Amino acid sequence: MPVASSLLLAGLALLPLACGGGPTEGDARTLREPHRSGDGVRAEFRQEFRDGEWVHDGPARFWDEEGRLTHVGTYSDGLESGSWQEYAPDGSLGEGPYEAGERSGEWTWFHPAREGQGRVPAERGTYRKGLRDGTWQRWDRAGAALSPTRWRSGEELP
């Protein structure tokens, strides 16, 4: 997004304050936040005005400086919630739920996609309170099972 557009968005967000009014409880807005360099969009998210402040609530997307999508998901009451997708620069992908701002439940991480090949899982396991926990199954790029790893509270067990 050009700098002029982001300044226009900022100006529109401040317009009610300059006119003597302000946001009221339950007002909603969607913002597109630029990177610090001013080149491209860093984040796009929905906010709702609650208890005197803007809170993330609803769909959100984030991009890196190169314009690659990095995260897609939803916020609820200011915290990541529900299903999220997380993309790494190498093309690998993680999918799973967030609960109260932390990875929770079963997540699957996929190898980077190759031309003519669907997504191949790299590993699958459970997060509890944002940390890996339990047995994680792993696969190589061809889809063959590898030895599983075991985790307890984010620490890999021998």
Provide the token pair at 40.
């491209």
Residue written as tokens 């610090």? 36
All structural domains of the chain with their residue ranges: 1-77, 88-158
Q: What is the pLDDT of residues 55-109, one digit of tens each?
A: 999 999 999 999 999 999 999 999 999 999 999 999 899 999 999 999 999 999 9
CA angle 151, 73, 77 (to 5 degrees): 95
Q: How far apart are the two ends of the chain, measured CA to CA in Å? A: 48
pTM exceeds 0.85: no
Tell whether the model's pLDDT for residue 13 goes beyond 50. no
Asked whether the beta carbons of 117 and 95 are under 8 A apart, the reply is no
Q: How far apart are CA 131 and CA 134, in angstroms?
A: 10
Provide the token pair at 136.
């994680």
> CB 64: neighbour CB atoms within 10 A?
15
CA angle 39, 42, 43 (to 5 degrees): 145
